Structure 1
Amino acid sequence: MSSRRLPTRPPAHCAAPGWWVPALAVAGAIWVLSSLADTPGPPLHHPLDWGAHFLSYLALGYALGRATGLPVLAWMLAAWWGAADEIHQAFVPGREAGITDWWFDLAGSGLGAWLAGQACLKRAARRRVPHGDEGAGPRS
């Protein structure tokens, strides 16, 4: 049994600035689709549209989590974007704003941000363990 403890939150150097490109692309796609009176494809009714909210914000939360390296910040940014998007939809003809939609945005972005944090922890743990030393216990 190793005396080394794994961190419970991502290290500060976990941010990957290249992930801002997909984060901004997902945020932009969400905004553009929300600006349309009719979204492309067949109409989605409850509960299918909640699944679409969950999955799109899961992608946004993950990308923001990788970009910032801070899952809580990523979740807060995605939550703000979801709230702004719901307010925006209230002014788009043919669309409506809904608190339930935002709850699914929060759930999806929270899971995405958490998954990004877990990916960072795994990468950090792989960097700390030298090859061939995985099974070695504490050294005396």
Structure 2
Amino acid sequence: MLRGRGRGAKVRRLAAWAPPLLWLSLIIVATSIPNLDTSAYPNADKIFHLAAYAVLGVLAVRAVHLTWGMGMAAILWTALAGLAVAAADEGHQALVPGRTACAVDFLINAAGYGLGLFLGMLRFKKGRKVSET
């Protein structure tokens, strides 16, 4: 957990949140590609979304662990934020030419994020420091 209020704590906090924010940026860029043809690989987009959101979930849990610890409230807020991001991503895709928003895709995004949260919680158990892993 990051403690303190000095410049070093701010840098460490930024370092904790940079990976999930960068990964989220990559998801947004990837889902912004117009008229993406995935017909050669059926359900490839579903697999991509599940995997991408699982990675995002793990990175988010890591950032929460480093910033606030593994309290249940922090994890629940992280889960809600993940659902909001998944919904926003689908809404965003509705605005991209050749892309569509789909409830099934939202559910796949949410399932991937949930899987990532679960795996992240296993990885960064309460009381276990990142340096020990």
Q: Normalising by structure 1, report the TM-score.
A: 0.68
| Greater helix share, structure number | 2
Please tell me whether residue 29 in structure 1 is matched to residue 29 in structure 2: no
Counterpart secondary structure, 1:124: coil
User: Quick one: distance in 2 between partners of 1:109 and 1:73?
Assistant: 13
Q: % of aligned pairs identical?
A: 29
Matched, 1:83 2:87: yes
Consecutive unaligned residues in structure 2, runs of 5 or more: 4-11, 66-73
What is the DSSP-based 3-state SS (H/G/I as helix, E as strand, rest coil) of the residue aligned with 2:38?
Answer: coil
- TM-score of the superposition, structure 2-length normalised? 0.72
**Structure 2 CA distance, aligned partners of 1:19 and 1:38?**
35
1:62 maps to 2:66 = no
Q: How many corresponding residue pairs?
A: 113
Letter of the 1:101 counterpart: D
Q: Which runs of 5+ in 1 are unaligned?
A: 1-12, 128-140
Task: Give how far 1:71 is off.
Answer: 3.0
For 1:49 and 1:14, the matched residues in 2 are separated by 37
Superposition RMSD in Å = 2.7
What is the rounded CA distance, in whole Å, between the counterparts of 1:31 and 1:21 in structure 2? 15
Matched, 1:118 2:114: no
* Residue in 2 that maps onto 1:43: 38
Tell me if the contact between 1:72 and 1:113 (Cα under 8 Å) persists in the aligned partners: no
Runs of 4+ in 1 over 6 A off after TM superposition: none
Larger radius of gyration: 1
